[in-house]
Structure 1
Amino acid sequence: MQKITALTLAVTCAVTGQAYAESHVDRTDWPSSFSVGTASQGGTFFAYGAGWANLVADELGVSGSGEVTGGPMQNMALVHTGDAQFGMTTMGPAAESLNGTNPIAPGLQMTNACAMFPMYQTPFSVTTLASSGITSIADIPAGARIGFGPAGSTSDTYFPAMMEALGVEFERRNGGWGDLGGQLQDGLLDVIAFAAGVPVPAVSQLEVQTDVNIIEFTAEEQAKIIEAFPVAGFEIDAGTYTTLEAPARSVAMWNFAIANCDLPASFVNAAVDVVMSDNARMVNIHRAATETLPEHWDKNTVMKWHPGAAQWFKDNAGADIPDSMIHGM
C-alpha cells in the first residue's frame, strides 16, 4: 500500500502547475462537452481546429472535438447561437457578422460570438497545375473555372471580388478544399484560389501527386488588393512548399478563435491557457500555429473579448484591453 501511495503521489506531483490549479477551479457550471466549428476537410481550419479541440479536451478532461462546417461565416452563426461552443473565424467575416451582413442570416447581428485567442494569418494564394501553363494572374484565361472553397468561407467571400478587381473573368465553383484539389488534378478546374493558413493540406497533397504552380501577386496587384480589401501584405515563405524556390508575394487576413459569450469565464480561461501556454504543442498540430502567440492579442480590432479570455491575456501577456472591448462590461 505504501508503494502504491508513493507512486500515486509521484504521478500527482508530475502534472503541470496549471493542471494542478485547474483542479481547484469550480467546474459546476462547465459544459460536459464542447465542439469547435472549423471548415471543410483538407483545409487548414479543419486540421488546426480539430487539433486544438483534442488538446483542450485532453488537458481539461472535457469531451470535445472539431466539427466540419462551412467555415468562418457559418462558425460565427454557430457560436453566436450556441450550437457550437467554440469556433474559428477571420476578421473580415467577423466584422460582417457583427454588422448583420453575414449571408447565412442577413440582418442578424452576431454579437454573442466573442474573441478567444489569436490563431494565425490567412494568406490568399493561387494554385494551378504546372501543365496548365498558368504562371501569373494575368495568364488566367477568360472563363477559367476557379474553385473558391466552401460557400461562405473567407476565400469565397473575398477572393472572387479580388479576382474581379484584378480583371480576371471566371466561372465560380465551390466545394471543400480536398474535393477542389481532386477536381484540379482531374482537369475539372483550372485554378484554385485558396484563403487558408499555410501550408494548405490540399496543396501539400497535390505537390506529392503532380507538378503545380503556386502563383504570387505582382507588387502592383498586391497594392491594388490591399487598397480595396481588409488585408495586409504577406509573403509565403519558400520553405512552406517544395514547389516554391523563393518567397511568394501575397496578402493575408488574421484569424481568431471565438467562444460563445455565455460560456463560463473559468472554462474559457482554462481553454485559452491550454492553447496559449505551450506554443510548441500547437506547432506540432499545424505549422501555421507559429503565429499563435500571446503578443498577437492586439490583432483583434473587431470583436468583443470573452471575459475569461480577456483576463488570461491581461494576466499573461500584459494586454491592455479596454472594458469597452470586453463582453458584458
Structure 2
Amino acid sequence: MKLTTLLAATTVVFAGQAFADGHVDRTDWPTSFTVGTASQGGTYFAYGSGWANLVAEELGLTGGGEVTGGPMQNMALVHTGEAAFGMTTMGPAAESLNGTNPIAPGLAMDKACAMFPMYQTPFSVTALTSSGITSVADIPAGAKIGFGPAGSTSDTYFPRMMETLGVDFERRNGGWTDLGGQLQDGLLDVIAFAAGVPVPAVSQLEVQTDVNIIEFTEAEQAKILETFPVSQFDIAASTYTTLEADARSVSMWNFSIANCDLPESFVEAVVDVVMSDNERMLGIHKAARSTVPANWDKNGVLMWHPGAAKWFNENAGASIAADMIYGG
C-alpha cells in the first residue's frame, strides 16, 4: 500500500516537472487565458484568481481571473470560448446543459467540460446581531434579502429555498462586498450566501460589526434536501469567529470547467498544476481542502475534458468512463 502511494506521488511530481520544464509539445497551446469567477468579495473570485495566477506562473503563460456573474455566466462564457476556463456548481451546470440557463434560454451549453473538483458551496444566512434575527423563522415578512449577483448559484437557488421554507421577502442582487456594506448600513435585513467558506465578505463583516450566522433547523434542512439538488453539510465552528458550534447547512459541489475544444495537453497541464500540490491551493483559500483528486467522482453532470480525464485516470486512480469524456 505504501509503495503504491509512493509511486503515485512520484508520478504526479514527474508529470508536474515535465509540464513545467516544457517537455510537452505546446505548439497548439494558447499564450494567455482567463478564468471566469464571480463578484469580488466572494469565494469564487478569490479562489479562481488564485489558481489562475498559480497556473500562469507555473506554465509560463499570461492568465488571470475575470469578474463575472458567477456559475451561470461562466457556463456561457466557457461554452462560447470567450473564457478558456471557469467555475460552476452542479445545479447551474445541469440547467445549462438542459437549455434552461437564463442567459441563453434554449441553448444547450455542451462545450463546457469538467476539469477538476473544487469544493462544496454551503448555503448560509447572515444578519446583524442588532436585528434580532437568529433563525430563518425570525426573518420578518417583506425582509430585504441580498442573494448575490444575478444568475449566481445563490440567486438561482436560495430564493426558491426561502420560498419553500415560507419566507416572504424582497429580492436584492449585487456583489457580495456591496451587499455586505448594505447589510451593515441597514439597507438589507439578511444576506443569503451560497459560497465556499469562509466567505470573504462574512469574514470582513465579523471584523467590523456583530453578526449572526444562522443555521437551518433539522426540519428546514430535511425539507431543502428533499426539494433541491444539494447535500447535507455542516459549517465547522472554526470557520468563523462568530460560530460557537458547527452550523447545520446544505451544500452543492463546485467544479472548474474548460472549453471542450482546448488542447488536451494544455488542460492536462493545468489540472496537474492545481491537483498535484494541495498545500499551494490551501494557501489561496481554505475551501481548497476539498480540491483533491479523490473528489473526481463528485461530477455526475458534465462531460469530462479529455485532458482532465487523462490526468485523473493516470494519476489519481480514477475510472472515468469513455462515454463521460468529451469526444470519446
Give the TM-score, by structure 1 length: 0.95
- 1:49-128 counterparts in 2 under 5 A? 49-128=48-127
Pair 1:326-2:319 in alignment: no
Structure 1 segment 289-304 matched on structure 2, within 5 A: 289-304=288-303
> Quick check: 1:36–1:65 contact (8 Å CA) kept in 2?
yes
Q: Structure 2: which amino acid aligns with 1:175?
A: G
Q: Tell me which residue corresponds to 2:9.
A: none
Question: Is 1:167 the counterpart of 2:166 in the alignment?
Answer: yes
Q: Check whether the contact 2:16–2:269 (CA below 8 A) recurs between aligned residues.
A: no
What secondary structure, in the 3-state scheme, does the structure 2 residue paired with 1:120 have? strand
2:266 maps to 267
CA distance in 2, matches of 1:207, 1:216: 16
**Which residue pairs with 1:42 in the alignment?**
41
| Farther-moved stretch of structure 1 (315-324 vs 301-310) | 315-324
Task: Give matches, 1:26-41, under 5 Å.
Answer: 26-41=25-40
Partner of 1:201: 200
- What does residue 236 of structure 2 align with? 237
Q: Is the 8 A contact 2:309 2:325 kept in 1?
A: yes
Output the CA distance in 2 between the equivalents of 1:232 and 1:252. Answer: 5
Percent of paired sites with the same residue: 80
2:275 paired residue number:
276
Instruction: Report the secondary structure of 1:55's partner residue.
Output: helix
In the other structure, the counterpart of 2:226 is 227
1:201 Cα deviation after fit:
0.1
CA–CA distance in structure 2, aligned partners of residues 20 and 300 of structure 1 = 28
Q: Deviations over 1:112-166 (max 9, x none)?
A: 0000000000000000000000000000000000000000000000000000000
For residues 61 and 327 of structure 1, what CA distance do their matches in structure 2 show?
27
Any idea what the Cα deviations from partners look like across 1:45-88, whole Å, max 9, x if unmatched?
00000000000000000100000000000000000000000000
Structure 1 position 21, deviation (Å): 1.1
Aligned partners of 1:185 and 1:284: how far apart in 2? 29
3-state DSSP class of the match of 1:24? coil
Q: Which residue of 1 aligns with 2:135?
A: 136
In 2, distance between residues paired with 1:80 and 1:273?
22
Report the alpha carbon displacement of residue 242 of structure 1 after superposing the two structures with TM: 0.1
Match of 1:153 in 2: 152
Deviation digits for residues 4-46 of structure 1 (CA, Å, limit 9, x no counterpart): xxxxxxxxxxxx6445412110000000100000000000000
2:234 aligned counterpart, secondary structure: strand
Query: Aligned partners of 1:20 and 1:249: how far apart in 2?
Result: 42
Considering only aligned residues, what root-mean-square deviation do their CA atoms show, in Å? 0.7
Secondary structure of the residue aligned to 1:53 is helix
- Find the aligned partners of 1:70 and 1:299 in 2 and give their Cα distance: 24
1:21 corresponds to which of 18, 22, 31: 18
| Cα distance in structure 2, aligned partners of 1:229 and 1:60 | 39
Superimposed CA distance per residue, residues 90-130 of structure 1 (whole angstroms, 9 cap, x where no aligned partner):
00000000000000000000000000000000000000000
Q: How far apart are the structure 2 equivalents of 1:79 and 1:32?
A: 17
Instruction: Output one character per residue of 1:236-270: Cα deviation in whole Å (capped at 9) or x when no partner.
Output: 00000000000000000000000000000000000
User: Matched residue of 2:53: which SS?
Assistant: helix
Segments of 4+ moved more than 2 angstroms? 16-20
Aligned pairs, number: 314
* Runs of 5+ unmatched residues, structure 1: 1-15
Given the two structures, how large is their TM-score scaled by the length of structure 2?
0.95
Q: Which whole-Å CA distance do the structure 2 matches of 1:164 and 1:21 have between them?
A: 52
User: Whole-Å Cα distance in 2 between the matches of residues 131 and 320 of structure 1?
Assistant: 52
What's the counterpart of residue 180 of structure 1?
179
Give, in whole Å, the separation in 2 of the partners of 1:172 and 1:302.
29
C-alpha displacement of 1:318 = 1.0
Alpha carbons 1:19, 1:59 under 8 Å: kept: no
Give the AA of the match of 2:63.
G
- Per-residue Cα deviation, 1:195-242 (whole angstroms, up to 9, x for no partner): 000000000000000000000000000000000000010000000000
For residue 317 of structure 1, report the CA deviation from its aligned partner.
1.1
* Rounded Cα–Cα distance in structure 1 between residues aligned with 2:135 and 2:318: 42
Equivalent in the alignment of 1:7: none
